[in-house]
Amino acid sequence: MDKAKNRLEYAGEKKKFYDEVESCSKFLEERQLKDRFLWKRFADQFREQIDASNKGWRGEYWGKMMRGACLVWQYTKSEDLFEVITDAVKDMLTVAKEDGRVSSYERAKEFCGWDLWCRKYVILSLEYYLDICRDKELEKKIISFCSGALDYICERIGDGKIKITDTSTAWFGMNSASILEPVVKLYRITGKESYLALARHIIASGGSGVADIFALARENRVYPYQYGVSKAYEMISCFEGLLEYYLVTGEEQYKTSVLNFANAVVNSDLTVIGSCGCTHELFDHSTARQTAYYEGIMQETCVTVTWMKFCSRLLALTGDSSFADLMEQSWYNGYLGSLNTEGCTCGYIRDKFASKVPAGTLKDIFFPFDSYSPLRSRRRGDKPGGSQLLSDGSYYGCCVCIGSAGVGMYALSALMKDSDGYYLEFFGDADFEDDGVKISVRGNYPTNDSVSIKVSCASPRRFKLRVRIPGWSEGGTFFSPAPDLCVKGYAVYDRQWCGESVVFVRFDFSVREIKPVEWETDVLYTNLTAHDGIYSVEAENVVRDPDDSNFVSFAAGPLMLAAECSPDDVFTFARDSKGAVKSSSADPGNALLARRFTDKDGKDFILSDYAHLGRDWATPIAVWLRTAPAPKNE
């Protein structure tokens, strides 16, 4: 049915990691994904239908967590996890009404707030489950359930009916328009023309009530933060749907929009930790403004994970190694930094919800993810994003539900293939088996800068092995033996393989100094007001604060370096005769990597990788380090 094809597909019938992928997956399985209480409570939102009471999004929790669980299972192949999520799917299949309706909003108040957003996640996650389903009868039931749920929507929304962007006042209907992805996926499964018609309606709507985001991306004259609607996570989700539509129709204009959008985000809104949005959860020219002071939350985990997923899809679409670079940046910095492996708690929840339930009935729930990540000196764990109170006195949050999709996508993307060979994208210790080929990676990367790649074949096989050359190491990566050629971000070994062969790679882990982007004035669409779930936004002219230049950050390999420090701490750095900052290796302790620096007075200090600092949610950390005293308020 598809008229366009991905260039690459995920490889590795069997895979086993021995690094953060493994520890993260196991952590999430045990502390979240196998929790039957959570699955039951989340499915109950479609029975209780209380989301309309505050135009809430409790209905997203089940689908977000199911999608992540399916992706994690594709790596771990845990039978315990498979049993739990299969039971959860069977429970979800019981919530539909006789007319197929599936909603966490009561019928009289449907098609407002986050109603379609929540329905989207149910259908989408069940489509992900279909990829791993073993039971043909269950598969039929899932397709019937999803079709009933979407048929109900198609009968009411579309050309000549309710306009998709009129079904939500939140973010000008962009959250509702993101249902495009599961709509197209279900069209691919069923071939129902009504689904393709709804997809066309969504695209014709422009994805929002204030701007045609798809056309703006295609024209490529302004950045996403200038579209007039700035919610980062939802906008990326809409372009995930547009990518699905391109694969079905083959219409090149939509591929152009998708790729233009991705590149525009990189140029205008991606920060050093691989996330977006330094003003709340909004595109705001973060690439330039990431050193600006903002007292609110920033760098949402939902954005980090959705960006990783989007980059994984684009890597498969194009075979462009830069998208693997981007995934790696997010993984080792923003994503791993958001994990709550220390079991920390956030007082914000108790302050927010304790007064809304009878005394002593608020249930403490463990959150395996933090929702926001600091850039200048601040502690982690300030606030759980998207938190909603459930009827039994428990609660949950959006970032906590979406988080597991990040490790799942990263694991699946580590080894990819096309018709003539393999693409090794990531370098953590791992074993892969695919169609009689075994590929093993060792080297304790990124603690160390060298890896060995062993390729094993029982019988002679001719194929290409492409090893990614990270953009941060371009020109400084050494291979032994030498590759046959280097092209488009890959070292290519094109040969007949038999027995065991080993390729050694050394990357350039020299410390890189990163300075803030200079800018003068800008226009942002982050001046938001909300009343009863209705959002309005006004363009705001902003002027750069000269103090924003008084910061510096450092990277080594894929890792951003950071410090435990207060907002007023000033850092100085000894430099060599060429002006480069001096540094040397240091014991990383519980971190992945550390470097020793010397200040102007000859005193040594340590910077460690960003993801492993501040995990107690109490110690302030910074990836952007102050280099001059802050101006005094007069």
Q: CA 353, CA 371: separation in Å to the nearest integer?
A: 17
The Cα 361–Cα 377 span in angstroms is 35
User: Is-cis flag, bond preceding 516, omega within 30?
Assistant: no
Burial class (CB in 10 A: 0-12, 13-18, 19+), 169: buried
SS3 per residue for 128-147: HHHCCCCCHHHHHHHHHHHH
Continuous segment of H or E residues that includes residue 465: strand 450-468
Task: Give the containing element (helix H, strand E) for 262.
Answer: helix 252-268
**Using CA atoms, how far apart are residues 167 and 144, in angstroms rounded to an integer?**
24
What's the mean pLDDT when you consider all of the chain?
Answer: 96
The answer to whether 314 and 262 are in contact (CB under 8 A) is: yes
CB atoms within 10 A of CB 572: 15
Residues in the chain, how many?
Answer: 634
pLDDT score, position 350 = 77
Give the whole-angstrom CA distance, residue 482 versus residue 360. 67
According to DSSP H, which parts of 524-607 are helical? none
Contact of 174 with 116, CB cutoff 8 Å:
no
Give yes or no for residue 474 having a pLDDT over 60: yes
pLDDT of residue 593: 98
Per-residue pLDDT, 232? 97
Return d(Cα 108, Cα 12) in angstroms, integer: 48
Return the pLDDT at 243.
98
Q: State mean pLDDT over 242-251.
A: 98
For residue 225, give the DSSP letter: G
At 267-299, the pLDDT tens digits run 999 999 999 999 999 999 999 999 999 999 999
Q: Radius of gyration (Cα) for the chain, nearest Å?
A: 24
d(CA 152, CA 123): 13
Q: Give the whole-angstrom CA distance, residue 213 versus residue 222.
A: 10
More confident residue, 257 or 171: 257
Helix axes 20-28, 60-76, angle to 10 degrees: 130
Write the class of the CATH domain 415-506: mainly beta
Q: Which is nearest to 398 in space by CA: 379, 381, 384?
A: 384
Q: Please, are residues 514 and 554 in contact by the beta-carbon 8 Å criterion?
A: yes
Peptide bond into 446 cis (omega under 30): yes
Q: CB of 399 within 8 A of CB of 414? A: no
**Burial class of residue 107 in the structure, from the number of CB atoms within 10 Å of its CB (0-12 exposed, 13-18 middle, 19+ buried):** exposed
Determine the distance from the C-alpha atom of residue 624 to the mean position of all C-alpha atoms in its chain, rounded to a whole number. Answer: 22
Per DSSP, 447 falls in state: T
Q: What is the DSSP letter of 472?
A: G
Residue found by looking up tokens 């002027």 in the block: 543
**Quick check: 30 pLDDT over 60?**
yes
Structure tokens at 468: 């990614």
* H or E element in which residue 542 lies: strand 534-543
Name the residue with tokens 């043909």: 136
544, two tokens = 């750069």
Contact 625, 571 (CB under 8 A): yes
Rounded alpha-carbon distances, angstroms, from residue 155 to 93, 195, 199: 21, 11, 13
Confidence (pLDDT) at 532: 64
CA distance 277 to 612: 21
Q: Residue 357 has what pLDDT?
A: 87
Q: Which residue has the higher pLDDT, 536 or 62?
A: 62
CA 315, CA 582: separation in Å to the nearest integer?
Answer: 36
Interval 516-545 mean pLDDT: 84
**pLDDT attached to residue 369:** 97
Which residues have a Cβ under 8 Å from the Cβ of 521 and sit 6 or more positions away?
541, 542, 543, 544
The answer on pLDDT for 348 being more than 90 is no
- Given a cut of 60, whether residue 634 has pLDDT beyond it is no
pLDDT of residue 468: 98
pLDDT tens figures, 385-401: 899 999 999 999 999 99
- Tell me if the pTM is above 0.85: yes
**Measured distance between the N- and C-terminal CA atoms of the chain, rounded to whole angstroms:** 67
With beta carbons less than 8 A apart as the criterion, state whether 39 and 99 touch.
no
Q: Which of 169-173, 329-333, 552-556 has the lowest mean pLDDT?
A: 169-173
pLDDT, average across residues 219-237: 96
DSSP 360: T
Of the pLDDT bands very low, low, confident and very high (cuts 50, 70, 90), residue 41 is very high
Supply the DSSP string of 83-113, one letter for each residue.
HHHHHHHHHHTT---TT----SS-GGG-SST
pLDDT on residue 308: 98
| Of 406, 174, 426, the residue nearest 310 (C-alpha) | 406
User: Which pLDDT belongs to residue 131?
Assistant: 97
Rounded CA gap, 254 and 616, in Å? Answer: 44
